[in-house]
Amino acid sequence: MGTGPHFIITDSESNSFYNRSELQNFTTSIVLNLFLISLRFQEKFLIRI
């Protein structure tokens, strides 16, 4: 993750597409992390009962 070569894209269309995909990956990882955290909280809550 981020260790590979970075290509400088001069084409504005390709650049905007790249930024969009990066943003999508970023938001997807955040949603997955929140989902996993909520699952852990549910497990702790169920164990307490």
- Which amino acid is present at 26? F
pLDDT at 44: 83
Would you mind telling me the total number of residues written for the chain in this entry?
Answer: 49
- Exposed, middle or buried, 4 (CB in 10 Å: 0-12/13-18/19+)? exposed
Q: Cα(48)–Cα(42) distance, rounded to whole angstroms?
A: 10
pTM over 0.85: no
Q: What is the mean pLDDT of the chain?
A: 77
- The band of 4, judged by pLDDT with boundaries at 50, 70 and 90, is low
